Chains A and B, each alone.
Chain A
């Protein structure tokens, strides 16, 4: 449940690496633990809207409502956030109708918008229409002392992309499936890695780096493409930087991780939440097999377990404030004593909610 006036809290990085305070102060200079001083800012992150065309002028209402709500709330943030990221999967099946419909909603956003390519935007026309609206599939920009990189991490092999499928529609449908033996693992690819190397060559190692990708730039679960096949190669390019933060969508759930100097944060979807893939549990599960689709923690509240994020770098690292609808807000930020991101509310086992054992 988000506050209207949000945190522009002055945080001496290192003293309290995790921003949890809601002190409302005007925009101020933040003293970083390194890299001197820079102007404090926050940005909004909305992801995975999956706008789905039914026919004619009709679209799946539930996914529409998720994106509309995120946009409406993001516009109420005060002071206005510096820019908005959209984290990919604006469309469900890459259709022009879907991208147009979603783009119209995103156009209501007051701050400047940057977009990340998702596989659902890409595999019908290989990102052509998306590119017409949002430009390059990968790019970088600088903002108030932070270098931001946007990658298209959902590329797969040329053979799969160009020679496997009779129609673009079929290609899109195959890529949309989970645990699909016909699928193919995502990657950033050689061409983009060369670009990234070149792009970073101009950036000081002390400059905080934030990398946006659609898939995680780490290997979590291949069957759902919670995966980037050349993640290690990308990570190696990021290794020399003092503060590296990767933010990804795609997984429709809150994840955080630390690999070397790289902090990973996922963002929520506005459309629906994914559970953790059951096959990833790597242990026998006694859960009853679901025979009806149930994609929410609370199936009554369609917006449950979805939401959007407000992100800041006050601590020199990413702090993600999750605005979760019909639910408690959560904050994941970098804890310098642990050297890894932690969830403010859930890091202590004693504070976790026990699973329900009585039905």
Chain B
């Protein structure tokens, strides 16, 4: 009930009021999200995708849906959990990233192993730690036999019964996810909307640090008419990998061997935390990408903690300190040798760190201000 209320509010805020407006084109600070030519948006498709996204029957024990770890109430994250709990109470190795504004990403998962929202949506169903289905067949069985689903697929795709395939399921889920677009943060109202009162003086100074001494903007991009806050690239910033340095030669060799003999990257990285920390290397086997993970968007970062691929940094202050120390946090033995060339000590003062955090907290969109994640997100 509560959730339905929130969702209605969200859809209203996004402008889902007329059939012709599928995504709001004027979310301040963001362009309309790109929509693939072979999967145009429609109200019926979005509604179908939303239903699929929340359906727990698509899991091994009927307890986990997409929304279990990407919870509408929690800005589509699993905050304050560091990593998510799948079927049978198992925990994975990676923090559930928000789906909000994922529509703008070039690749998906922390290591970018999926190339589109459609592509991404198929994997968690089969992951033994996440939703734990042996194949996609149980999903197809449900949507083919459930009269409501069947009718919806006919309406959206002109196809029903045994003609429904995973392609249709993936497209519908992706269409729903493309509606989760949110700009309009206090920062946007100040920077793009020229409302001088929208953010505090601290946050404004924090933005100067973000552009200058903090070097943040080089990866968390801000452009003239938009701010995606991600370069859609992969960087080793010293999280996770710092702790497993002596294991890297062995792990890299073992992983490479396993991959060559057909092991699934999806399953391997989510099962073994150390392999997980190899990051993008698991996908490309490029040395340049050992321990590298995708640049996260910073939108709604104030309500989507804990942070980083492993959820190892609890607060935004922890994150800024990690960067300030040149890619190193308490407990890390040393900075790893594969560190991105962009990461170096920043020499920020405590005051500057506070200002940078104030800026980051001004990136929360109105509809997520009250997200139920605060335990994990506030310093």
* Residue ranges of A at the interface with B (Cβ–Cβ < 8 Å): 1-5, 61-62, 65, 68-69, 71-73, 75-76, 78, 300-304, 323, 325-326
Instruction: Check if B341 sits within 8 Å of A4, measured CB to CB.
Output: no
Instruction: Check if B287 sits within 8 Å of A323, measured CB to CB.
Output: yes
* Residue ranges of B at the interface with A (Cβ–Cβ < 8 Å): 215, 218, 248-249, 252-253, 256, 260, 284-289, 326, 335, 337-342, 344-345
Instruction: Check if A2 sits within 8 Å of B287, measured CB to CB.
Output: yes
B345 contacts across to A, CB distance below 8 A: 61
A302 contacts across to B, CB distance below 8 A: 341-342, 344
Cβ 8 A contact of B252, one of A1, A4, A71? A4
Q: Could you tell me the distance between the alpha carbons of A69 and B336 in the complex, rounded to whole angstroms? A: 8
Given known contacts A5-B256, A300-B215, is B286 in contact with A73 (CB within 8 Å)? no
Cβ 8 A contact of B288, one of A5, A62, A300, A325? A325
Task: Give, as a whole number of angstroms, the nearest-CB distance from B92 to chain A.
Answer: 25
Task: Give, as a whole number of angstroms, the nearest-CB distance from A87 to chain B.
Answer: 19
Task: Give, as a whole number of angstroms, the nearest-CB distance from A304 to chain B.
Answer: 6
Instruction: Check if A65 sits within 8 Å of B337, measured CB to CB.
Output: yes
Cβ 8 A contact of B289, one of A1, A69, A71? A1
Given known contacts A4-B287, A75-B249, A326-B288, is B344 in contact with A61 (CB within 8 Å)? yes
Instruction: Check if B253 sits within 8 Å of A78, measured CB to CB.
Output: yes
Q: Could you tell me the distance between the alpha carbons of A262 and B342 in the complex, rounded to whole angstroms? A: 39
In chain A, what residue has the closest Cβ to B256? Answer: A4
In chain B, what residue has the closest Cβ to A73? Answer: B287
Instruction: Check if B248 sits within 8 Å of A68, measured CB to CB.
Output: no
Instruction: Check if A65 sits within 8 Å of B339, measured CB to CB.
Output: yes
Instruction: Check if A325 sits within 8 Å of B248, measured CB to CB.
Output: no
Q: Could you tell me the distance between the alpha carbons of A4 and B287 in the complex, rounded to whole angstroms? A: 7
Instruction: Check if B249 sits within 8 Å of A76, measured CB to CB.
Output: yes
Instruction: Check if A2 sits within 8 Å of B286, measured CB to CB.
Output: yes
Most buried by B among A78, A300, A304: A300
Instruction: Check if B337 sits within 8 Å of A1, measured CB to CB.
Output: no
Q: Could you tell me the distance between the alpha carbons of A303 and B340 in the complex, rounded to whole angstroms? A: 8
A2 contacts across to B, CB distance below 8 A: 286-288
Q: Could you tell me the distance between the alpha carbons of A303 and B256 in the complex, rounded to whole angstroms? A: 25
Instruction: Check if A72 sits within 8 Å of B256, measured CB to CB.
Output: no
Q: Could you tell me the distance between the alpha carbons of A76 and B340 in the complex, rounded to whole angstroms? A: 17
In chain A, what residue has the closest Cβ to B285? Answer: A4
Instruction: Check if A326 sits within 8 Å of B256, measured CB to CB.
Output: no
Cβ 8 A contact of A3, one of B285, B335, B338? B285
Q: Could you tell me the distance between the alpha carbons of A75 and B288 in the complex, rounded to whole angstroms? A: 14
* CB pairs A–B below 8 angstroms (14 shown): A1-B284, A2-B286, A2-B288, A4-B253, A5-B285, A61-B345, A69-B337, A69-B339, A72-B337, A78-B256, A300-B218, A302-B344, A303-B341, A326-B342
